[in-house]
Structure 1
Amino acid sequence: MRRTILLSAALMLALTSCSSGSDDKPAVKASPTVNKEERYLDTARGLPYTQDGEPLEAELLTFPPQWCASLDEGHSVEHMFSLTGENLYPVGYDWGLKKADAYELLVAGVKAYCPRNSSAVLEELRASGEY
């Protein structure tokens, strides 16, 4: 009999601890994470492209990995964007960006794909007086 009472008490305790009373705090919902491609493309979608067309997202996504690789090798933004350097200026057959917008896209790409290079890129751009 004593055993039955103890089991009943334990069961009641377990059941009451599972109930949701007014003192319970609401569960914290995890916010959806935005991947690096989307963070970069959010900036890219808001830029004013020149000429006749707009780039395809797949075309835009080719730039950040190349920028990061070049920066990791120690190259400057000036070198990456120059015709005699790596020629990684974001431009396509029927679209382009003004320099200030290209810098904005670069910064978004670096922050999303290789944030370890962000401070060096921002420092260079600010020192140039063009960003």
Structure 2
Amino acid sequence: MKIALVTVLGFALAAASQAQAQIPSASTSGVNAAARMQGGGPGGSSAASLEGRTVRGQGGVVLGHVERVILRADGSPVQVLVRPKGPRAGGPRSLAYSSLRVDGDGLSIPLNQAEFNAMPAIDVTGK
């Protein structure tokens, strides 16, 4: 089950990387536009309200915080970049928006710490 989940996340990451050139980044104006257009997300949250939220994995362990929301051309969220916690955490990890669930004031995803840490970091510096 865990291998299948990691494989699916890997395919989602690859698809996001290929489509990223076509998807506008979630700049301040883009996220605000998405919040006006979208009005909802996991559990009714707007795209703008996702930034800064804590993301927890299995067992309630804190994986990191939402750094950026990647939007489709229509303004709906497709990927969420999560900055891992800790001093040696590296770059953010890309998670499928549809895999997130509202968990109190934060979000949760069915990954454990090791699975999340094994995901490749995303280069957000721009090429």
Range class of TM-score, shorter chain = under 0.3
> Rg: which structure is higher?
1
Which structure's residues are more often helix, by fraction?
1
Q: Structure 1 length as normaliser, TM-score? A: 0.23
Q: Structure 2 length as normaliser, TM-score? A: 0.24
